[in-house]
Amino acid sequence: MATLSDNHPLACRQHDHEHCIETALQTARDRCLANGARLTALREQVLTLIWQNHKPLGAYALMDMLASQSTKRVAPPTVYRALDFLLEQQLIHRIHSLNAFIGCTHPNEGHPNNFLICQQCGVAIEFNNNQFQQAVSDTAKDHGFTVSSQAVELVGLCVSCQESAANA
């Protein structure tokens, strides 16, 4: 596979996911320390699994992965509590259309949930675009609407899958 240029999203390039994981874990530790929250071993394990690649994972997939790493099965409520904690700490996002979770690439910045989701390889790319956000805000204002949360999920083909299709 050809190496994609640096102007392609990180999720679409070959790279060291260990670096992604370590960065996410250190950010989580710092954030929890600052918030007086407890980052348990299970919460760290769930966050590590979520960051192993840039593809959203559902709760049951996480349970199966946790079970493969341990001799005992983790109950669904335990995994959902870990996910709720990570969501509360703004370390992950929920992708509603997939009922799955992905690591937050900018946990120290308040931002909406905007994703480009590849229907072929499953990668999800978090994005924030000031012009797009302004258009959303202006549209809401024009309609007298107050936005309390936002989730935009655009489905299509990532640059890697487009290039693979073009080279096939």
DSSP characters over 122-162: --EEE---HHHHHHHHHHHHHTT---S--EEEEEE--HHHH
Give yes or no for a contact between 128 and 112, defined as CB atoms under 8 angstroms apart: yes
pLDDT of residue 8: 54
- Counting Cα atoms < 13 Å in the Cβ hemisphere of 167 gives 8
At 24, which helix (H) or strand (E)? helix 17-35
pTM, to two decimals: 0.84
Each residue of 99-141: pLDDT tens digit? 999 999 888 777 888 999 999 999 999 988 889 999 999 999 9
Q: Map out the domains of the chain with their CATH numbers.
A: 10-167 (1.10.10.10)
Helix, strand, coil percentages, rounded to 5, for the chain: 50, 15, 40
44: tokens are 């760290």
Given a cut of 80, whether residue 142 has pLDDT beyond it is yes
Token pair in block for residue 108: 């120290």
